A and B are shown apart, each in its own frame.
Chain A
Amino acid sequence: MDRDLVEAARNGDREAYVDLIRVRSDRLFAIAQRILRDIDRAEDALQDALVIAWRDLKGLRDPDRFDAWLQRLLIHVCIAQATRERRRTSNLRVLPIEGPAAPDDLIAIADRDQLDRGFRRLPPEQRAILVLTHYLGYEPSEIAETLGIPAGTARSRLHHAHRAMRAALEADARTAVRGGRPA
């Protein structure tokens, strides 16, 4: 069924293309939001990716690869957008959370805050690798294929991303202790 839709869309059938993306947009949006950590930017990235995919669909030789192709396209759009955003905000310093110590029932929220800060500091490609790993459950070989990088590089970058996230959590914890706010 989808193969027929892809073929029809490749032949210029816009309705077929919209039918194709209708059932995929939620998943793609979720991926974009997790890489970009911003609903509006995720929406923009998804729209851009879907328009580019329409424009370049004739270049997809194997209709059965539509999903992988479209997902790869979206991730590259997200990385490009995050890179631009990172440049704009690179002079901003991320400050530790101020305020009273988080009570136990808010620890999960504090963790999310720390994770969010650490994640935003990562290079965009490492963000994508973390999303592919922890949201989509990809193995390094699948990440490598998605991003067009060697598997060893995917492993290395995943390792660095994990290290950076751990470092972010630990730095925040140290900040809290130095500030007299027991975790």
Chain B
Amino acid sequence: MTQQRDIDQLLDQWFSDGPTRAPDRVLDVVADRIERQSQRPAWRLQWKEFQLNTYLKPLAAVAAVVAVALIGFNLIGGPSRTGRGGPGPTASTGPTTRPSPTAPPSLTAQPSPTDVPSPTNAAVGRLAPGAHTSRAFNYPMTYTVPAGWYNGEDYPADLALSIEAIPGVGVISVWGAVYVASQDAACTESPDPGRGHKAADFIDLLTTHPGIVASTPAAVTIGGLKGSLVDIALAPSWKTACPYSEGQPFVPYATDSMPGPPGFHWGIQGAGRARVIFLDAKDGETIFIVIDSVDGTTFDTIVAQSMPVVESFVFKP
């Protein structure tokens, strides 16, 4: 098998080859094109910097009007975001369970002013405070965020939310139709044929695996779906690596139903800590929510900020 170091070196060398000069005509063409291209006003682009997908462009003007109306509504004393009940989830036990605030309806799909299409990722980008609806995720859902949240992925297979103040760090990932990952020595990216794929099957693995330190599982109901929540970290005594983990101890625990890459294969590694929630979906599949702190140090902060968002999830029938 080609080793990681080999592929790294090969790719480093391969990419270092190739052209490094743009044809002179590029600048000429661009100069000509921008002569005929006016700039868009800034008010249409206020979150352009973070959003490169094109959706609902025709609604741009309407959205702007609604935004102005919402601002005015708030200024004249619209309902507060706090203290309003809503269809939030409940957790029977668990470290962070609190009532889910429900914000007044907001622009769930803000228009992007750019022409960069992205046919697969339907993410919104920077999120306005309030309620939002997934666009491409196979398990349609709504979620409510305060200011400072970002939707970086909305694919059929997963939806990801992060906190802008923690740049580049994935905070909440939601995956549909997950399976317990094979526990063979090769860390095969396939479902474990010896296990089911209900929420209880994941919890059973995580609470009995010698490589994982897990909290006591808590029963939860999120967005109308029942399941379990558990906090996990890699056991300090666990030294087994996967072929792709560059010698670092690793325990894979979730994957998709398709054997082999590319696809979804999730595990815990190094000092990372995660809160994982498995929900039994109505179609017999399992929805996997993970609140991930890659280095573990931000775990408590991330969980505290993320749980109200997770608790706001509502999965549509």
Residues of A within 8 A of B (CB): 10, 12, 14, 17-18, 21-22, 25-30, 33-34, 39, 43, 46-47, 50-52, 54-62, 65, 69, 72-73, 76-77, 79-80, 83-84, 111-112, 115, 122-123, 125-126, 130-131, 133-135, 140-145, 147-157, 159-167, 169-170
Specify which chain A residues have a CB less than 8 angstroms from the CB of B266 in the assembled complex: 156
Query: Are A115 and B10 CB-contacts (below 8 A) given A142-B168, A144-B169?
Result: yes
CB within 8 A of B15: which of A12, A84, A134, A162? Answer: A134
Residues of B within 8 A of A (CB): 1-2, 4, 7-8, 10-12, 14-23, 25-27, 29-31, 33-35, 37-42, 44-50, 52, 113-121, 123, 125, 150, 152-153, 160, 162, 167-171, 173, 189, 244, 261-266, 290, 292, 294
Q: Are A47 and B39 in contact (CB under 8 A)?
A: no
Q: Are B31 and A58 in contact (CB under 8 A)?
A: no
Sample of 26 A–B contacts (CB below 8 Å): A10-B39, A26-B20, A27-B20, A28-B22, A29-B26, A30-B18, A33-B19, A50-B26, A51-B34, A59-B113, A83-B119, A126-B262, A134-B14, A142-B168, A148-B125, A149-B160, A150-B153, A150-B170, A153-B152, A160-B265, A161-B262, A162-B7, A164-B262, A165-B11, A166-B1, A166-B2
Specify which chain B residues have a CB less than 8 angstroms from the CB of A22 in the assembled complex: 27
Q: Are A59 and B27 in contact (CB under 8 A)?
A: no
Q: Are B1 and A170 in contact (CB under 8 A)?
A: yes
What is the CB-to-nearest-CB distance from A70 to chain B, in angstroms, rounded to a whole number? 11
CB within 8 A of A123: which of B12, B45, B117, B262? Answer: B262
A72 to B113, CA, bound (A): 15
Interface SS of A by simple majority:
helix
Q: Are B261 and A163 in contact (CB under 8 A)?
A: yes
Q: Are B34 and A54 in contact (CB under 8 A)?
A: yes
Specify which chain A residues have a CB less than 8 angstroms from the CB of B168 in the assembled complex: 140-145, 150-151, 154
Specify which chain B residues have a CB less than 8 angstroms from the CB of A79 in the assembled complex: 118
Q: Are B34 and A14 in contact (CB under 8 A)?
A: yes
Closest to A121 in B: B262
A73 to B50, CA, bound (A): 10
Closest to B41 in A: A58
Specify which chain A residues have a CB less than 8 angstroms from the CB of B290 in the assembled complex: 152
Specify which chain B residues have a CB less than 8 angstroms from the CB of A25 in the assembled complex: 22, 26-27
Closest to B4 in A: A162
What is the CB-to-nearest-CB distance from B154 to chain A, in angstroms, rounded to a whole number? 11
Closest to A65 in B: B49
Q: Are A150 and B169 in contact (CB under 8 A)?
A: yes
Closest to B245 in A: A159
Specify which chain A residues have a CB less than 8 angstroms from the CB of B17 in the assembled complex: 112
Closest to B169 in A: A151
Specify which chain B residues have a CB less than 8 angstroms from the CB of A62 in the assembled complex: 49
Q: Are B49 and A47 in contact (CB under 8 A)?
A: no
Closest to B173 in A: A150
Specify which chain B residues have a CB less than 8 angstroms from the CB of A43 in the assembled complex: 22-23, 25-26
Specify which chain B residues have a CB less than 8 angstroms from the CB of A76 in the assembled complex: 52, 116, 118
Closest to A78 in B: B116
Specify which chain A residues have a CB less than 8 angstroms from the CB of B39 in the assembled complex: 10, 12, 54-58
Q: Are B244 and A159 in contact (CB under 8 A)?
A: yes
Q: Are A54 and B153 in contact (CB under 8 A)?
A: no
Q: Are B49 and A69 in contact (CB under 8 A)?
A: yes
A76 to B39, CA, bound (A): 20
Give the 7 A-B residue pairs with the shortest CB-CB distance, closest first.
A150-B170, A59-B45, A59-B48, A29-B22, A144-B168, A145-B168, A135-B15
Q: Are B15 and A148 in contact (CB under 8 A)?
A: no
Instruction: Apart from A46-B26, A148-B152, list 8 A-B contacts with CB within 8 A.
Output: A14-B34, A58-B39, A69-B49, A144-B168, A150-B162, A151-B170, A161-B262, A165-B7
Query: Are A59 and B169 CB-contacts (below 8 A) given A34-B15, A135-B15?
Result: no
Q: Are A39 and B244 in contact (CB under 8 A)?
A: no
Q: Are A167 and B261 in contact (CB under 8 A)?
A: yes
Q: Are A58 and B22 in contact (CB under 8 A)?
A: no
Specify which chain A residues have a CB less than 8 angstroms from the CB of B37 in the assembled complex: 51, 54-55
What is the CB-to-nearest-CB distance from A87 to chain B, in angstroms, rounded to a whole number? 8
Q: Which of B18, B34, B120, B263 has the most CB of A within 10 A?
A: B34
A10 to B45, CA, bound (A): 12
What is the CB-to-nearest-CB distance from B137 to chain A, in angstroms, rounded to a whole number? 14
CB within 8 A of A56: which of B48, B150, B265? Answer: B48
Q: Which of A83, A151, A170 has the most CB of B within 10 A?
A: A151
Specify which chain B residues have a CB less than 8 angstroms from the CB of A77 in the assembled complex: 116
Q: Are A131 and B152 in contact (CB under 8 A)?
A: no
